[in-house]
């Protein structure tokens, strides 16, 4: 039977250990943060429909759908890392953490590339000129979205991208600690709370992708 170390001893009351409780409380504050962003987007879009283009005409939906799949894959590798350390499989933990880091970094890279493509098509993040133009349209074509569209799009996806980037850095630190042998089957709190953060970032993207790219 696995021995539970003091840092994972369940607290009286909530019946979870303090690190996990702390991460959940942090994630709940993040829920409110992203609710503010998504709520503002939805309200602005309904209030000013003329300022928003049809996502499929402006944004690259197939590319982002592929990127969504990449992030879902990274969630699988993260739970595989957790499942490995539950079995005290150090090699498996490091292998799956590395896979998660690579997939997370790939997601951020594709997002940066998407921004470059959008900027080259005229959807640029500059004050007064967030105008959206249909994809593949000739230069000087009719503008199909105004400043609000670009402002909300880059704010929401940018903040999410920042969260993923921070997650990748934290995963690198977790991998560094794993290589030092810091985690065992009885001391896997660090891997578990890292996983909670990573899955939350995935969960937020699932909702963002639907609301920003598909609806």
Partner 1 sequence: METGEEHKSPPYMIVFVVLAVLTVAEVLFALLFTGLPKFWMGVGLIFMAVWKAVLVAMYYMHLRFEPKRLWILAASPIPLAIILVVVVIREF
Residues in contact with partner 1 by CB under 8 A are 2, 4, 8, 10, 13-17, 20-21, 24-25, 28, 31-32, 35-36, 39-40, 42-43, 46-47, 56, 61-62, 65, 68-69, 72-73, 75-76, 78-80, 83, 195-196, 199-200, 202-203, 206-207, 209-211, 214-215
Judge whether 85 and 188 are in contact, CB under 8 Å: yes
**Considering the complex, what minimum distance in angstroms separates the CB of residue 129 from partner 1?**
26
Please say which residue, 20 or 177, places its beta carbon nearer to partner 1: 20
Please say which residue, 13 or 140, places its beta carbon nearer to partner 1: 13
Cα dihedral across residues 151, 40, 43, 156: positive or negative: positive
Helix H or strand E encompassing 173: helix 147-179
Judge whether 58 and 134 are in contact, CB under 8 Å: yes
**Considering the complex, what minimum distance in angstroms separates the CB of residue 211 from partner 1?**
8
**Cβ neighbours for 77, distance < 8 A, ≥ 6 positions apart:** 96, 97, 99, 100, 103
**Considering the complex, what minimum distance in angstroms separates the CB of residue 3 from partner 1?**
9
Helix H or strand E encompassing 132: strand 132-133
**Considering the complex, what minimum distance in angstroms separates the CB of residue 174 from partner 1?**
16
**Considering the complex, what minimum distance in angstroms separates the CB of residue 55 from partner 1?**
8
DSSP state letters, 85-112: HHTT-HHHHHHHHHHHHHHHHHHHHHHH
Please say which residue, 177 or 199, places its beta carbon nearer to partner 1: 199
Judge whether 190 and 183 are in contact, CB under 8 Å: yes
Q: Using DSSP, state whether 144 is helix, strand or coil.
A: strand
Please say which residue, 45 or 177, places its beta carbon nearer to partner 1: 45
Please say which residue, 122 or 163, places its beta carbon nearer to partner 1: 163
Could you tell me the two tokens for 74?
Answer: 């990274």
**Considering the complex, what minimum distance in angstroms separates the CB of residue 86 from partner 1?**
8
């Amino acid at each position: 039977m696995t021995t539970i170390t003091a840092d994972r001893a369940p607290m009286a009351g909530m019946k979870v250990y303090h690190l996990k409780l702390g991460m959940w409380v942090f994630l709940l504050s993040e829920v409110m943060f992203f609710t503010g962003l998504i709520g503002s987007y939805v309200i602005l879009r309904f209030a000013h429909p003329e300022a928003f283009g049809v996502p499929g005409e402006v944004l690259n939906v197939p590319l982002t759908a592929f990127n969504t799949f990449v992030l879902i894959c990274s969630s699988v590798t993260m739970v595989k890392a957790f499942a490995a350390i539950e079995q005290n499989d150090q090699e498996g933990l490091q292998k799956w953490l590395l896979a998660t880091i690579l997939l997370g970094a790939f997601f951020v890279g594709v997002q940066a590339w998407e921004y470059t493509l959008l900027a080259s098509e005229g959807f640029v993040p500059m004050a007064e000129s967030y105008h959206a133009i249909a994809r593949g349209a000739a230069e000087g074509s009719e503008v199909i979205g105004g400043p609000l569209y670009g402002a909300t799009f880059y704010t929401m996806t940018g903040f999410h991208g920042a969260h993923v980037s921070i997650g990748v850095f934290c995963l690198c630190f977790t991998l560094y600690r794993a290589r030092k042998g810091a985690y065992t089957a009885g001391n896997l709190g660090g891997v578990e709370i890292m996983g909670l953060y990573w899955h939350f970032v995935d969960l937020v993207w699932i909702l963002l992708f639907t609301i920003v790219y598909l609806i």
